[in-house]
Amino acid sequence: MRRLRELIIPGVDKSLLVRDAVKLMPELSRRRFIAGGASFGALTLLTGCNVIDSDSADALLAQVSKFNDAVQAALFNPNTLAPTYAESAITKPFPFNAYYALDDAPDVDGKDYRFEVTGLVDNKKAWTLDELHALPQVKQVTRHICVEGWSAIGSWTGTPLRDFLKLVGADTRAKYCWFRCAEGYTSTLDMPTALHPQTQMTFKFGDDILPRAYGYPMKIRVPTKLGFKNPKYVIGMEVTNDYKGGYWENQGYNAFSGS
Ligand SMILES: Nc1nc2c(c(=O)[nH]1)N[C@H]1C(S)=C(S)[C@@H](COP(=O)(O)O)O[C@H]1N2
Ligand SMILES: [Mo]
């Protein structure tokens, strides 16, 4: 992934590209895109296209013409439910993605694993995997959208984060939930997104324990946010009023994907 904000694009007039894209968008997305300021940055984040020349500008327009209104609407408005799909729609194999190759992904030992809950919560505690697995779980089949230009449908099972926040006595008037991962990755969710009914502490992919590739032993699945706001190998959560950013947030990917 590269920084999108400061791209200089020879032969591409950004404002014309935005105007063309608006014309191609379905109704609901168009209204929300315009309400959001119709910026070039939002367009690249929405489509996942890095526009570097006129060919990639064409690719972006082709992408817009395939827009699924319901998916885009959920990304634009955190109060909307993300669409769910039949199990037959699950993408196989589901892609692995990180800022490194799969061989370098964290290999977390489930026996030693602890999920540390800190910050503005009544019950600060380090949870074992057995304790987490004992929580009530639900299955969701949703689409994961990565700004790098791919999307895929997956099946994730776990505990709604809002139920867990209630359980630990989190101050839900706080602004953020900040997540730390085993290899140092971090990400921030704004509290409304953390409390969204589909935001999940995920322990399974399909019917299997979450494989290493997808974040064993726990990821935070957020179908209303882009992929980078879905931290894997999560080892800590802090409820806080301080904006602590995150691995990609700090590199400029914060404009559209949520706080
Ligand atoms: N810990 C950690 N979580 C992460 C990342 C990462 O590099 N490290 N990459 C993010 C990005 S950009 C994407 S698209 C998804 C990919 O998840 P997947 O491997 O399950 O497809 O993980 C997100 N969460
Ligand atoms: Mo991503």
> Into how many domains does the chain fold?
2
Angle between helices 54-65 and 40-47 in degrees, nearest 10: 70
The first and second tokens of residue 185, run together, are 């990755």
**Does one domain contain both 50 and 97?**
no
Asked if residue 258 has pLDDT above 50, the reply is: no
Of 27, 46, 75, the one marking the end of a domain is: 75
Contact 247, 180 (CB under 8 A): no
Q: Are residues 24 and 139 in the same domain?
A: no
Name the pLDDT band for 58 (thresholds 50, 70, 90). Answer: confident
* Residues paired with 154 in a beta bridge: 142
Same domain, 51 and 154: no
pLDDT tens, residue by residue, 78-125: 678 888 999 999 999 999 999 999 999 999 999 999 999 999 999 999
Q: How far is it, in rounded angstroms, from Cα 196 to Cα 131?
A: 23
Domain that holds residue 204: 87-251
The residues, any chain, with a CB within 8 Å of residue 185's CB and separated by 6 or more, are 98, 99, 231, 232, 233, 246, 247
Q: Is residue 18 part of a domain?
A: yes
Task: Please list the alpha-helical segments (H only) found in 127-210.
Answer: 129-133, 161-167, 191-194
For range 49-77, the mean pLDDT: 78
Q: Are residues 62 and 93 in the same domain?
A: no
Residue 229 and residue 114 in one domain: yes
Query: In the predicted model, is pLDDT for residue 225 greater than 90?
Result: no
Is residue 241 domain-shared with residue 169, that is, in the same domain? yes
Give the model's pLDDT for residue 196: 93
Q: How far is the CA of 38 from the centre of ligand 2 (A)?
A: 22
**Nearest residue to 195 via CA among 226, 171, 214:** 171
| 3-class DSSP state of 98 | coil
Q: Is the pLDDT of residue 253 over 70?
A: no
* Same domain as 176, residue 156: yes
Residue nearest to atom 19 of ligand 1 (CA): 96
- Which of 75, 101, 133 is at the close of a domain? 75
In terms of Cα–Cα distance, which of 167, 174, 169 is closest to 135?
167
Give the C-alpha separation, 209 to 202, whole Å: 9
Nearest CA residue ID for atom 10, ligand 1: 228
Which tops the pLDDT comparison, 18 or 56?
Answer: 18
Looking at the domain assignment, is residue 231 inside a domain?
yes
CA–CA distance, 171 with 157 (Å, rounded to integer): 25
Instruction: Say whether both 100 and 53 belong to one domain.
Output: no
Q: Is residue 81 part of a domain?
A: no
Q: Does the residue 130 lie in any domain?
A: yes
Pocket of ligand 1 (CB under 6 A): 95-99, 146, 181, 183, 185, 213-214, 227-228, 230-233
- Report the alpha-carbon distance of residue 18 to residue 127 in Å, rounded: 47
Q: Tokens in use for 62? A: 């082709």
